[in-house]
Amino acid sequence: MIDVQEATGTLTRKDGMIEAVIERDFDAPPQRVWEALTDSAMLCQWLAPGHIAPIAGGEAKLSFEDSGIAIDSLVTAFAWGELIEYSWSGKGEPLRPLRWEISRRFSGTRLRLSLAVPDSEDVARAAAGFEAHLDMLAAALEGVPIKFPFQRFKTMRDAYRALLAN
C-alpha cells in the first residue's frame, strides 16, 4: 500500500492545469540556495548542466542527457535572491511554469517550488522528479553531491499518484 503522506507537496487542479507545490527547508543561507538555483556550476550538481540567465527575458536552458529532456525557455519572472520563474518546457512544448521562491528562515532558508503542468500530463512523475532533485540539492548544499535517487523518485511518484486518486 502506498502512503499518501510520503508526498510532501500539494497538488491542485485549476483551468486544465495541475499545480504541484513543494516546500523544503535548508540549513544553508539564502545566498547559497540562490547560487544553487542560478549558477551553472551549482546547477549541474543537483539539477542538470545548463544555464539560467538571472534576468527577466533571459535564457533558461538545461539538458537532461540521460532522459533526453531539454529545457529551452525564457525567464518570465525574476527578483534577485528571491525568485526566478521559467517554463519547464522545450521548444514547441506546452508551457509548464516553474517558479522557485526563497525566503529566510530562523536557521536557514525555505525554498518553495511550484510547477504547473497540463492535466493531461503525468504530474506525479514531474512532482516526484523534483522531490528527488531537491534531495540532490540538499546534498549539494552540504558539499556532497549525489546521483539521482531513483528509488526515492519511484516511491514519491507512487505517493503522488495515490494523492491524485483520492
- Say which CATH number the domain at 119 has: 3.30.530.20
Mean pLDDT computed over every residue of the chain: 92
What is the predicted pLDDT for the residue at 163?
A: 87
What is the predicted pLDDT for the residue at 6?
A: 54
Which of 87, 140, 89 shows the shortest CA–CA distance to 111?
A: 140
Chunked mean pLDDT (size 10), the chain, 166 residues: 57 95 95 97 96 95 85 96 96 95 94 96 95 96 95 94 87
Query: Residue 2 falls within a domain, yes or no?
Result: no
Query: Residue 1 falls within a domain, yes or no?
Result: no
What is the predicted pLDDT for the residue at 115?
A: 97
Query: Residue 27 falls within a domain, yes or no?
Result: yes
Q: Total domain count for the chain?
A: 1
What are the angstrom distances between the C-alpha of 148 and each of 27, 48, 61? 21, 10, 19
What are 66-86's pLDDT values in tens digits? 777 899 999 999 999 999 999
What are the angstrom distances between the C-alpha of 6 and each of 52, 84, 95, 119? 30, 27, 28, 22
Query: Residue 90 falls within a domain, yes or no?
Result: yes
Query: Residue 45 falls within a domain, yes or no?
Result: yes
**% of the chain surpassing 70 pLDDT:** 96
Contact 52, 44 (CB under 8 A): no
What is the predicted pLDDT for the residue at 74?
A: 96
Which residues constitute the domain of residue 128?
A: 8-165
What is the predicted pLDDT for the residue at 7?
A: 53
What are 122-134's pLDDT values in tens digits? 999 999 999 999 9
